[in-house]
Amino acid sequence: MVNDPIMTLSEVAQYLKLAEKTVLRMVHRNEIPCAKVGNQWRFMRPMINDWLLSKMRVVPRNDLARLVEQNERLLPLSRLVLPEYVILGIRPDTKENVLAQMVRPLKEKGIVADDENFLAGLIRREQIVSTAMGNGVALPHLRDPRKNPIPGPAVIVGICPDGTDFDSADGEKTYLLFVLSTDSEVVHLRLMARLAALLKDSRLVQRLADAGSPEDAIAALMAAEQTDLWRMEESHEGF
């Protein structure tokens, strides 16, 4: 089963987009979490996701902006989404109240000092034109990236399971809101482009909307990025 938490060697190799021999070498070198059941290796999907996440966080955060400026594909978006940046259970409401449900938890967690000013900036941007891009997704942000209150780059993810009216051009409900925080205009634009490209996949949007925990949301992003990277590598190999 696709969502079975226990994976075989073949399944984990496919999940990681690696050859089985490569995974087996990693097993023998104790480089990947696993257990031997009988004479077969087994892997727990949540532990593999945590292991992947730890691997992706070896880059110092002060180097992240430089990497994104070089190429938005060099750095997984999931690297910029910390568990405390994922806001679950947003209720359908007006734009202002939906954004408030995203911002206030950041104040409670000590991530944002002045939540009222941040919220006001996001609302002013929405009053110009909606940031809802369709397909159930919106990308709220400040007009001036230099005024972002969160050390970045960082991506805040808000999940509204029932969907809310966010004035989307396609007239459909919005389920996911991504607030980008960076003081670099270049990084801001690259992150928006990367998000817009990934979130064209309705399956990813649905998986994120159904996420039961921050870790589930991050794992969904990681899986989508791994698939995207694999496709990109395959296209290069075709030349």
Query: Exposed, middle or buried, 208 (CB in 10 Å: 0-12/13-18/19+)?
Result: buried
Q: What is the CATH number of the domain that holds 14?
A: 1.10.10
189 in the same domain as 165? yes
Domain count within the chain: 2
pLDDT value, residue 56? 53
113 in the same domain as 42? no
92 in the same domain as 44? no
11 in the same domain as 106? no
Q: Give mean pLDDT in consecutive 10-residue pieces for the chain, a chain of 239 residues.
A: 73 89 88 86 80 54 48 65 94 96 92 93 92 92 86 89 92 94 80 84 93 93 76 46
State how far the Cα of 23 lies from the Cα of 42, in Å rounded to an integer: 12
pLDDT value, residue 180? 87
pLDDT value, residue 62? 46
194 in the same domain as 92? yes
216 in the same domain as 155? yes
Q: Is residue 185 part of a domain?
A: yes
What range does the domain containing 153 cover? 60-237
Q: Is residue 12 part of a domain?
A: yes
State how far the Cα of 112 lies from the Cα of 100, in Å rounded to an integer: 13
pLDDT value, residue 3? 55
27 in the same domain as 84? no
Q: Is residue 27 part of a domain?
A: yes
The answer to whether the pTM exceeds 0.85 is no
| The domain boundary residue, chosen from 53, 68, 85 | 53
CA-CA distances (angstroms) from residue 67 to 77, 145, 156? 12, 18, 19
Q: What is the CATH number of the domain that holds 142?
A: 3.40.930.10
158 in the same domain as 95? yes
123 in the same domain as 22? no
CA atoms within 13 A on the CB side of 79: 23
pLDDT value, residue 198? 87
Q: Is residue 1 part of a domain?
A: no
pLDDT value, residue 195? 86
65 in the same domain as 11? no
Q: Is residue 76 part of a domain?
A: yes
Q: Is residue 142 part of a domain?
A: yes
- What φ, ψ does residue 40 adopt, rounded to 5°? -120, 145
96 in the same domain as 155? yes
